[in-house]
Amino acid sequence: MKRDQYFDDTDAALADAAHRYTRERHAFDKRQKLPAGERRFSASAWKEMASMGWLGVATGEDEGGLGLRVSSIALLAQAAGQALVNEPLLSTGFIAPDIVMRHASAEQRSRWLARMNEGALRVACVFAHAASPVQARAGQLHGRQEVVLDGDIADALLVQASEDSQGGKHRWYWVDAAAPGLKRSAYPLLDGRGAATLEFEGCTAEALDAGDSAHPALLAALALSADAVGAMEAAMALTLDYIKTRQQFGAAIGTHQVIQHRAVDMFIRLNECRAVLAQATQSLQAQPDAAARDVHGAKAFIGEQSTLMLQEAVQLHGGIGITDEYALSHYLRRVIADDQLSGGHEQHLRQFAAAPSIR
Amino acid sequence: MTLTDLLKSEAAFRAEVRDYCERELPARVRAKVRAGLYLEKQDYLDFLHSLIPRGWVAGHWPRAWGGCDWTPMQRFIFEEESAVGGAPWLIPFGISYVGPVIFTFGTAAQKERFLPPILASTEWWAQGYSEPGAGSDLAALKTRAVRDGDHYVINGQKIWTSYVQWADWIFLLVRTSDEGKRQQGISFLLVDMKSPGITIRPIKTMDGCHHVNEVFFDNVRVPLSSLVGEEGGGWKYAKFLLSNERVIAAETGKSMRHLEHLTRLVEAGSHRAEDQAVFRRRIAQLELKLHALRAFCLQAARQMDPATPPGAEASIMKIRGSELQQAIAEATMEWLGPQALAYDPAQVNAERAQSHAGLAETPGFIREYLHGRAATIYGGSNEIQRNIIAKAELGL
């Protein structure tokens, strides 16, 4: 039996291309030499990703995409985490098209999706926060949202707003980034990606069809989990390489049992995370009844375990592990961001525990 | 087969095992298992006999030897679902350990003599591996078998031998040579427990029960035909034997049952609202660990090719499975509070659950905790498992 049964030939081809591309064109040392703006977002890299079809894995075939391919999203997100891709794959490539496919009219789809697919339109997604919901009143948005991933470089926003004052009854809205009544303050995230705080002050917005599918939020949680697993894989390789070569007291530090067992614990965490990710991917693709539990479970488990593993990796590296010029510290920062974006592991643990269990 | 078909067929098999547990697993045995009581030999035999009509005593054996040719996934599902449904541990010494060694490496006469009684559960096997000076370092074993005409003469001592007090036969790793590498001087023997010169000394463990023993061999004479395979090949057969254990080491079914117990206890404790909130989060965390372990086992079982040697996955399952069992038992003890101190071994060496303090099942929960401390030690300690992964998977 082949690994990961839900992978098909399209996945294999995408995975192959992604690994070749990130290895040859997106190497860490090369990216580090770019000016800061380009490290955050490289227009040429973005164009190449679009041309490889990476932005079409959540878009319908009638709309010029490949149809929703959960397995492809998981593997591309994993490759992005492994290669520290900062371009807005997650928002523009995966989640925004899923929202549009589920909630937009045919006319809206034809207006937006083709340009998103080719990378000409970058879209950030604002999910409703129970604590501070964005409100929709008479077609205008009111409210505030902090730390919106890719909000710093987005041309447009998809905002999940509440249509009653209690924060319930959600509907998605499309907002042009230049719309009057929208204030945006952009800033970098600790891991090199970027975000914005958005203030909606009677901002003009275009409503999508009603209805409130849980799918985009689950897909976001899955993609962030996959991103973190990619970072863990890269960190495992770096750490093994380091403890096999770093000499102290006349021997490689990896010859000591105390170091070996800690490396083994990292390896176990990585393998468990791969398994929960595979299960969540499989469920979101083929077992809708089990999807909520499996995806929240993956986000909760990977969120916590990836941070623990990366902290161990930094410790095993010693001083070099905390420097900015070495990739490892970027992976630690990456998994911390992946954990917090779209809800930290404690939140997903509660959602996991509340979801029905099917065996 | 498509993924959807595959998942459907797995679910169908799971439903079959559930059906067996509800209708054919003896209710008396199920009640004892659920209450955490010590099981007698007859309890295990009643369980095994109830599997015979479905042909499930050794479902993972090839059809040619009376099994069902189960895939690793079917075997995993059987072990998990039967444990959830209250079935006892399927004692592996005959069915999973020596049986496959015999049908893979044994002579025609050995197969004919030993396999049918294992399938019929009429002969009980024990495993003679560990010795006082050979625990984690098993290859240091000293029990010696010396050829004398058409017999081997065995002298030495085994320890931690589980349920040998009920055994008809024991398979032994013995030293037949001091030449070359230590592993090359080890042979695999099948020994009748009725042979003169064998003495058993029980070792009572801290749960107050009789699981393990010391076994002494004093000039025990067994025919040369007791040897499996080649003289000096014992280490190879011992490793093969362990590779048969890879999908079931996690004991996920048992952990599921214990976590359900703990959840029921906590949910019944409405008079302890503050504790309840803390324990609900703790249960959610344990559920999540169990979810990850199960995902790991399911993925591994689905991808496992029975013909290839085991990778790190068996070691990972053993480490995480035993850690989780202990974590659930620890949480249960903490929830019980002072009631966890009222422990009278007579109440777990009994037919029916009873307790001096708290619910009738309380001593059973305490026993699971006490006995469960062995889980990270036996079957290759978790430290040895980490050594195995470091060497085999990480190249350290």
Annotated active-site residue B245? The verdict is yes
| pLDDT at residue B247, as a whole number | 60
User: Residue A48's CB: how many other CB atoms inside 10 A?
Assistant: 16
Mean pLDDT of B23-45: 97
DSSP 8-state class, residue A259: H
Preferred mutation among B291, B305, B316, B317 to probe A, highest tally of A CBs within 10 A: B291
Residues in A touching B313 (Cβ below 8 Å): 271
Q: What interface predicted TM-score (ipTM) does this complex get?
A: 0.95
Q: Which of A69-78, A280-289, B184-193, B236-245 has the lowest mean pLDDT?
A: B236-245
Given B16, B40, B214, B245, the catalytic residue:
B245
Query: What CATH number did the domain enclosing B149 receive?
Result: 2.40.110.10
Q: How far apart are CA B114 and CA A94, in angstroms?
A: 60
The angle subtended at Cα B138 by Cα B133 and Cα B139, nearest 5°, is: 100
User: Is the predicted pLDDT of residue A3 greater than 60, yes or no?
Assistant: no
Q: Cβ separation of A1 and B386 shorter than 8 Å?
A: no
Give the percent of chain B with pLDDT over 90: 91
In terms of domains, do B226 and B249 share one?
Answer: no
Q: What proportions of chain B, in percent to the nearest 5, are helix, strand and coil?
A: 55, 15, 35
User: Is the predicted pLDDT of residue B105 greater than 70, yes or no?
Assistant: yes
| pLDDT at residue A129, as a whole number | 85
pLDDT band for position A211 (50/70/90)?
A: confident
Going by CATH, does the domain composed of A9-117 fall within 1.10.540.10? yes
Q: Which of B226, B240, B279, B30 is nearest to B113 (CA)?
A: B226
Partners of A126 in the beta sheet?
A159
Report field, pTM of the whole predicted structure over 0.80: yes
User: Residue A75's CB: how many other CB atoms inside 10 A?
Assistant: 23
Q: Which of A31, A85, A72, A27 is nearest to A231 (CA)?
A: A85
Q: How far apart are CA A85 and CA A67, in angstroms?
A: 23
Q: Cβ separation of B7 and A286 shorter than 8 Å?
A: yes
Q: How far apart are CA B234 and CA B258, in angstroms?
A: 37
Tens of pLDDT, residue by residue over A297-327, are 999 999 999 999 999 999 999 999 999 999 9
In terms of domains, do B152 and B220 share one?
Answer: yes
In terms of domains, do B212 and B251 share one?
Answer: no
Tokens coding B59: 């479902």
pLDDT band for position B345 (50/70/90)?
A: very high
DSSP 8-state class, residue A62: T
Residues in B touching A265 (Cβ below 8 Å): 386
| pLDDT at residue A289, as a whole number | 87
As a dihedral over the C-alpha atoms of residue A95, residue A101, residue A104, residue A107, rounded to 10 degrees, the angle is 130
Interface list for chain A against chain B, based on CB atoms closer than 8 Å: 1-3, 5-6, 240, 243-244, 254-255, 257, 260-261, 263-265, 267-268, 271-276, 278-279, 282, 285-287, 293-294, 297, 300-301, 349-350, 352-353, 359
In terms of domains, do B223 and B263 share one?
Answer: no
Q: Tell whether B129 is covered by a domain.
A: yes
| pLDDT at residue A131, as a whole number | 80
User: Residue B122's CB: how many other CB atoms inside 10 A?
Assistant: 12
Q: Cβ separation of B316 and A352 shorter than 8 Å?
A: no
In terms of domains, do B215 and B269 share one?
Answer: no
User: Is the predicted pLDDT of residue A47 greater than 70, yes or no?
Assistant: yes
Under DSSP, is residue B192 helix (H, G, I), strand (E, B) or coil? strand
Q: Tell whether B350 is covered by a domain.
A: yes
User: Is the predicted pLDDT of residue A167 greater than 80, yes or no?
Assistant: no
Q: Cβ separation of B280 and A297 shorter than 8 Å?
A: no
Q: How far apart are CA B302 and CA B73, in angstroms?
A: 6
> Do residues B183 and B139 make contact, with C-beta atoms less than 8 angstroms apart?
yes
User: Is the predicted pLDDT of residue A2 greater than 60, yes or no?
Assistant: no
The angle subtended at Cα A239 by Cα A237 and Cα A244, nearest 5°, is: 100
pLDDT band for position B312 (50/70/90)?
A: confident
Q: How far apart are CA A267 and CA A243, in angstroms?
A: 14
Partners of A186 in the beta sheet?
A196
In terms of domains, do B300 and B275 share one?
Answer: yes
pLDDT band for position A1 (50/70/90)?
A: very low
> Do residues B212 and B203 make contact, with C-beta atoms less than 8 angstroms apart?
yes
Partners of B131 in the beta sheet?
B134
Q: How far apart are CA B48 and CA B26, in angstroms?
A: 10
In terms of domains, do B262 and B336 share one?
Answer: yes
Q: Which of B284, B298, B305 sits opposite A349 (nearest CB)?
A: B284
Tens of pLDDT, residue by residue over B134-154, are 999 999 999 999 999 999 999
Mean pLDDT of chain B: 95
User: Is the predicted pLDDT of residue B106 greater than 60, yes or no?
Assistant: yes
Residues in B touching A257 (Cβ below 8 Å): 387, 390
CA atoms within 13 A on the CB side of A323: 7
Q: Cβ separation of A260 and B390 shorter than 8 Å?
A: yes
Q: Tell whether B120 is covered by a domain.
A: no
Q: Tell whether B269 is covered by a domain.
A: yes
Q: How far apart are CA B110 and CA B108, in angstroms?
A: 5
Q: Name the phi and psi angles at B97, rounded to 5.
A: -100, -70
Residues in A touching B387 (Cβ below 8 Å): 257, 260
Tokens coding A33: 């030499």
Count how many domains chain B has: 3
Q: Cβ separation of A352 and B303 shorter than 8 Å?
A: no
Preferred mutation among B296, B304, B313 to probe A, highest tally of A CBs within 10 A: B296
Under DSSP, is residue B152 helix (H, G, I), strand (E, B) or coil? strand
In terms of domains, do B250 and B216 share one?
Answer: no
Tens of pLDDT, residue by residue over B163-216, are 999 999 999 999 999 999 999 999 999 999 999 999 999 999 999 999 999 999
Burial B202-232 (b: 16+ CB within 10 A, else e): eeeeebbbebbbbbbbeebebeeebbbbebb
Tens of pLDDT, residue by residue over B271-291, are 999 999 999 999 999 999 999
The CATH label, of 2.40.10.120, 1.20.140.10, 1.10.490.10, 2.40.160.40, for the domain at A215-354 is 1.20.140.10
Mean pLDDT of B381-386: 95
Mean pLDDT of chain A: 95
DSSP of A15-45, one letter per residue? HHHHHHHHHHHS-HHHHHTS-HHHHH--HHH
Q: How far apart are CA A21 and CA A288, in angstroms?
A: 33
- Sequence spans of domains, chain A: 9-117, 123-207, 215-354
Name the pairing type of β-strands B169-175 and B125-128.
parallel
Tens of pLDDT, residue by residue over A332-351, are 999 999 999 999 999 999 99
Q: How far apart are CA B198 and CA B192, in angstroms?
A: 10
Tokens coding B213: 């023993």
In terms of domains, do B170 and B304 share one?
Answer: no
In terms of domains, do B250 and B221 share one?
Answer: no
> Do residues A190 and A153 make contact, with C-beta atoms less than 8 angstroms apart?
no
Q: Tell whether B104 is covered by a domain.
A: no
In terms of domains, do B81 and B135 share one?
Answer: no
Entry field: residues in chain B: 396
| pLDDT at residue B28, as a whole number | 97
User: Is the predicted pLDDT of residue B393 greater than 50, yes or no?
Assistant: yes
**Structural domain harbouring B40:** 3-90
Q: Which of B285, B287, B390 sits opposite A264 (nearest CB)?
A: B390
Query: What CATH number did the domain enclosing B249 receive?
Result: 1.20.140.10
DSSP 8-state class, residue B164: G
In terms of domains, do B221 and B328 share one?
Answer: no
Tokens coding A294: 């499996």
> Do residues A91 and A150 make contact, with C-beta atoms less than 8 angstroms apart?
yes
Under DSSP, is residue A122 helix (H, G, I), strand (E, B) or coil? coil
Preferred mutation among A8, A268, A299 to probe B, highest tally of B CBs within 10 A: A268
Min Cα distance A133 → chain B (Å) is 26
Q: From start to end of chain A, where are the E strands? A: 123-126, 135-137, 140-149, 156-162, 170-176, 182-188, 194-204, 206-207, 247-248, 251-252
Tens of pLDDT, residue by residue over A110-161, are 999 999 999 999 999 999 987 888 999 999 999 999 999 999 999 999 999 9
Q: Tell whether B238 is covered by a domain.
A: no
Tens of pLDDT, residue by residue over B59-85, are 999 999 999 999 989 999 999 999 999
Mean pLDDT of A32-41: 95
Q: How far apart are CA B319 and CA B377, in angstroms?
A: 10
In this structure, which topology does domain A123-207 adopt according to CATH? Butyryl-CoA Dehydrogenase, subunit A; domain 2 (2.40.110)
Q: Tell whether B77 is covered by a domain.
A: yes
Instruction: Tell me which amino acid residue A53 is.
Output: G
pLDDT band for position B7 (50/70/90)?
A: confident
Tokens coding B309: 């040697």
Q: Is the dihedral of CA B372, A273, A295, A6 positive or negative?
A: negative
Q: Cβ separation of A297 and B288 shorter than 8 Å?
A: yes
Residues in A touching B386 (Cβ below 8 Å): 260-261, 264-265
Q: Cβ separation of B280 and A264 shorter than 8 Å?
A: no
Tens of pLDDT, residue by residue over B237-265, are 998 887 766 666 899 999 999 999 999 99
